Structure 1
C-alpha cells in the first residue's frame, strides 16, 4: 500500500464530518488531534489530511518542522507502516507524532526498533471534573482563598456563549490581544487568528463556552468542546487583568458546568512555559495525555 503526498488536502470546515465519523468509533484523548484545534490553527500548522481505508492521517508543516501523525482508525498494519515510511522519508528530526495511548503501544509491540521520545512540553493535563468543580481539601486551600478574594472584590455573573452575546465576546478578545500585544509576537499573532476562527465558526465547530462578567462587564471567557464521551477539552481560557483571580473563577465555573456530563476535563499542555506549567500543576491533574515523537536516527 502506498500513500502519496497528492492524497492529502488542506483541512477545511467541511472535513469535520470525516473527523466526527472516525472519532465516533475511535475516540481520541489528546487535544492536538481535535478537529477544532487543527482547523483553528491551520494558518500556523498548514494542516493537511488524508483518509485512507478508514484511517485518518494528519500532516503538519511549520517553518521549523514537518511531520505526520500516526493514523487514527481501524487496525490496519499496511496503513500504519506506510505512514511510518512517509514520515521517515521526510528526513526530519521528529517526523512522526504519536498522541494516542493505543498508538504508542502498537508501535512498541510491532516496531520495537523505532525510537519514540516523550515530549513533556506537550503532555495534556487531564483533571477530574468533580475535583475542579469543588476544589476540596488542603491541596486547594490557597486557590480557594484567591477565589473568595476575587468574589468579594468582583461579584460576577456567568453566562453561556450564545449568538446574543457573541459581539461582546469578540470585543473581549480584541481587548485581550491589545493588552497582550499579540501583533508583536509570532505565537500570539497565530493564537489571535486561532481564537478568531473559533468564534467565527463557533456553531459549525460544535464549540461551547462560558463568560464571566465582573461588575456587569464581560471580563473572561472559556471555549470548550467534547473530546471523547468521558472528557471535555478547554481550548481557550482568556481573561482581562482588571480583576485579579478571574482565571480561577473561569476554571471553577467551567468545571461546574461540565461535571455532570464529563468525568474528566482536558486543559491542554503547558508548551514548556514555566509559569503556565506551575499554574496547571497547582490544580493537581489526575493524569496526562502524553505525546511522543519518532526520533529519526
Structure 2
C-alpha cells in the first residue's frame, strides 16, 4: 500500500469521504487531522474505494480509523479490514482501530464477529452539549458559569468579531506572544498544540473552520475556532483566552456559539484526554452525553 502523509492539498479528497457519512467523532474532520499532524505522523490511502487514515506516534505501533466508503459498501469495508490485518501481520505489527463510535463498533462486530477485543476509551470520548443551553446558561446548573460571564460583561466593554483575512495576522501574532510567555515551561503536548494552531491559522483560507475573536479596548483577549461535524453538530477544536480577564473563557464560548453555531442543535467540545483539570472543566458545562469511543484490537 502507498500511504500518503497528510497535506493541505489532500483536503478536498478527504472531505468528500467525510461528507458522505454522518461523522460522529471529532477525530474525523480534515481540520482536526491537519491541526494534529505536526504532533504525530498521519497518513492516508484508498483501498477498495475506502478511505483509510493511519496514525503513528513516535516509538508506538500505528493504528487506523475505521474505513469510510462513500456508498457504505460493507463488503468493501470487510475486504479492506482483512487486507490491512494481513499487511500488519506480515510486518509484525499489532492491528488496531481507534476512535470507533458505538455505531462503527457494532458494524465492525457484525462484519467480523469474534475477531476483536474492544476497549472503551472514556478519556477519548467526546463531550456533547446543547448549543442553546451553552448560549443561554439558564438555570441552577449553570449558575457558576453565568456568574463568571456576568462579571466579565460588567467589567469589560468587549466586542466580538468573526475571524477573517483582516484580523488573521493580528491573531497569529497575539497567540505567538501568549505562548512566548510560557514556552520555557510548556509541555510537549502544549508545544505541539501551539504549532498546530499557528499552522492551521496560516491555512485559514484553505480550511473550512470558522473562528471568533473577543476584544477588550481593541486588544484580542480570546479566540476560538471550529467547524461543522455533521448536519446537526458543530465541533469546537480550539478555545484560548487571556486568563487575566476573568470570565473570558465563558465569554468566548458563549459569543462564538451565538454568532456562528446557533443553527446547530448540538456542539461537540472534544475529549478530556484523561486530564483531571480538563475533565472537570468539560463536565462543568453540563454535557448532554458522551459520544463514546472504542479501540478495537485484533484478538491474539
Q: Which residue number corresponds to residue 220 of structure 2?
A: 218
Q: Which residue number corresponds to residue 26 of structure 1?
A: 21
Correspondence for 1:245 among 225, 244, 247: 247
Scaled by the length of structure 1, the TM-score of the pair is 0.91
Q: Which residue number corresponds to residue 202 of structure 2?
A: 200
Q: Deviations over 1:218-242 (max 9, x none)?
A: 1110011111111111111011122
Correspondence for 2:142 among 140, 143, 153: 140
Q: Deviations over 1:111-162 (max 9, x none)?
A: 3312111111111111111111101110001110111111222221111111
Q: Which residue number corresponds to residue 112 of structure 2?
A: 111
SS at match of 1:51: strand
Q: Distance in 1 between matches of 2:184 and 2:96?
A: 30
Q: Deviations over 1:96-117 (max 9, x none)?
A: 1143343111122233312111
SS at match of 1:158: strand
Q: Distance in 1 between matches of 2:184 and 2:55?
A: 23
Q: Distance in 2 between matches of 1:95 and 1:62?
A: 14
Q: Distance in 2 between matches of 1:184 and 1:284?
A: 29
Q: Distance in 1 between matches of 2:134 and 2:81?
A: 39
CA contact (8 A) 1:172 1:220 kept: no
CA contact (8 A) 1:40 1:197 kept: yes
Q: Which residue number corresponds to residue 149 of structure 1?
A: 151
Q: Deviations over 1:5-51 (max 9, x none)?
A: x2x21111121112221222212111111111111211222111112
CA contact (8 A) 2:43 2:53 kept: yes
CA contact (8 A) 1:13 1:39 kept: yes
CA contact (8 A) 2:48 2:80 kept: no
Q: Distance in 2 between matches of 1:36 and 1:173?
A: 19
SS at match of 1:30: coil
Task: Give the drift of 1:91.
Answer: 5.7
Task: Give the drift of 1:93.
Answer: 6.3
Q: Which residue number corresponds to residue 97 of structure 1?
A: 98
Structure 1 unmatched runs, 5+: none
Name the CA shift for 1:14/1:148 in 2 (closer, same or farther; >3 Å): same
Q: Distance in 1 between matches of 2:185 and 2:259?
A: 33
Name the CA shift for 1:191/1:32 in 2 (closer, same or farther; >3 Å): same
SS at match of 2:68: coil
Give runs of ≥4 in structure 1 deviating > 6 Å.
none
Structure 2 unmatched runs, 5+: none
Name the CA shift for 1:211/1:266 in 2 (closer, same or farther; >3 Å): same
Name the CA shift for 1:53/1:261 in 2 (closer, same or farther; >3 Å): farther
Correspondence for 1:36 among 28, 31, 40: 31
CA contact (8 A) 1:116 1:294 kept: yes
Q: Distance in 1 between matches of 2:291 and 2:93?
A: 24
Scaled by the length of structure 2, the TM-score of the pair is 0.90
Task: Give the drift of 1:207.
Answer: 1.5
Superposed CA RMSD in Å reads 2.0
Q: Distance in 1 between matches of 2:185 and 2:295?
A: 31
Count residues with an aligned counterpart: 292
